[in-house]
Amino acid sequence: MNLWRLITFVLFLPQVTLAQKPGTISDTIQCKGSSDQTYALYLPKNYSSSTPAGLILFFDPAARGRMPVELYQKIADKYSMILACSNNSKNGSLVASVQAGNAVLTDLLTKFNIDKKFIITSGFSGGGRAAVEFATKNRTTVAGVIACGAAFSSPEAIKMERRMPFAEVIGQLDMNYQEALKASEYLKNIHNPASLTFFAGGHQWPPLDAYEDALAWHALRIRPDTDLKSDIVSGRMKRAQVQLDSGHLFEAHTALKSMLGAKPIDSLFAIMQKDKHTREQVNEVQRVNAAEVQKQQNFFYAYERHMAYAAPDSAYHPAFWKKFRRECEKMIEGDRYSKQSGLRLIDYGWRLCAEQHFVYMNEEAYRQAAMCARIWALMQPDNPNACVQAARGFAYQKRKPDTLDYLRQAVARGFKDQDGVRADPAFKELLSDADLRSVFK
């Protein structure tokens, strides 16, 4: 080895060692053979090259590789799991996400001793759909999926003849909550191994204990003789008991159902099955859920008609959307399950419109973009950004009165960024300094 090569080797060695040191996170590991692909990595504290470790391959909707790796490192230590998340995969092309996942997995398999029977894919929101897509295209490699805040990439992803063990973790206020229930029922009907875990929260990566529920389910399935078996069963029992003590019979019933096969859980589940209060609450939740699905569908059908067939000023009927919001607010005043349903419907409404607004803006479909933002503003009456985005949509249509109207509404909601408006290309040619002074006076 010549001197220059020796110097290069010595300089590079600490970086490699750090990237592979157990108990630490590395933000940017470059994939060998795919230099444009990188990932965040965590090796469990007890990792040794002589002992195979499990793997969770994460997909984040915004290519935030560090986020899930950092969130779940504690359970990675407990279950001896390597955590890796692509810095390239994000919402958009599932093909690109699968390519990113393949690059990361290939790199990991060349560097680490991985238990080939315990490779799990996981993701949040659009990343959850990517995790399913990747798993179903790599059935001989991937042992299961943990999806968070979303279900399948397509209705054909998991079928009776193409099963894939599937755990979902969803917030009780998540806009995709009904999708999770529907997916759970579908998987039950095709006899596909499945688990569903709820947590108190919205559309987000789940908290540690809720995520561990899903990983524990996979661990018992893949490693039935694991030393953690008694801890996993007792942990699920304790969480179910907390729900029971709080009167949340539906959640306790759901938590126990996916872990049947362990005697203590079987016994408690049998007792709950016979209890009339459990049956009554399960039936009530099903009634609330059916009503929510219908309202969600009504919202979507009205939204689609507005987007597809008419100009904003002729099609925009705020009375319909205000009525929808009032009905949700009335539900929020009801019992626990009615309240959750009302909050989910509002979340569904504003997120649908907000996401589609930005899609339309990118496509320069400013008529539809403005319409989406107007509905969004009604779903979130305190959010100034919805009004700003409506103003931007109108500005690109050269509709000055509407632009100024929505900017004034934004200011009334607390918006103060006059310099930001002045610098925004959407407003540059349409609004004078005098116009802006009149808005921000």
CA-nearest of 211, 263, 199, 208 to 237 is 263
| Cβ(332)–Cβ(342) below 8 Å | yes
* 3-class secondary-structure state, position 279: helix
Predicted local distance difference test score (pLDDT) of residue 53: 96
Could you name the CATH architecture of 279-439? Alpha Horseshoe (1.25)
| Cβ(115)–Cβ(89) below 8 Å | no
- Classify burial at 429, counting beta carbons within 10 Å of its beta carbon; exposed 0-12, middle 13-18, buried 19 or more: exposed
User: How far apart are the C-alpha atoms of 159 and 140, rounded to whole Å?
Assistant: 16
User: How far apart are the C-alpha atoms of 228 and 231, rounded to whole Å?
Assistant: 5
Predicted local distance difference test score (pLDDT) of residue 39: 97
User: How far apart are the C-alpha atoms of 241 and 235, rounded to whole Å?
Assistant: 10
- pTM: predicted TM-score of the whole model, two decimal places: 0.84
Q: Please check whether the domain covering 3-226 is classified as CATH 3.40.50.1820.
A: yes
Ranges of residues in the chain with a pLDDT under 70 are 1-20, 258-262, 308-315
- Domain ranges in the chain are 3-226, 279-439
Predicted local distance difference test score (pLDDT) of residue 203: 95
Please list, in sequence order, all residues whose beta carbon lies within 8 angstroms of the beta carbon of residue 29, skipping any fewer than 6 positions away. 19, 38, 39, 40, 41, 84, 107
Domain 3-226 identical in fold to domain 279-439 = no
**Which amino acid, one-letter code, is at 89?**
S
34 token code pair? 């795919």
> For residue range 344-385, what is the model confidence (pLDDT) as tens digits?
999 999 999 999 999 999 999 999 999 999 999 999 999 999
Report how far apart, in Å, the C-alpha atoms of 380 and of each of 200, 274, 290, 315, 348 are: 21, 43, 24, 20, 11
| Cβ(256)–Cβ(240) below 8 Å | yes
Predicted local distance difference test score (pLDDT) of residue 192: 93
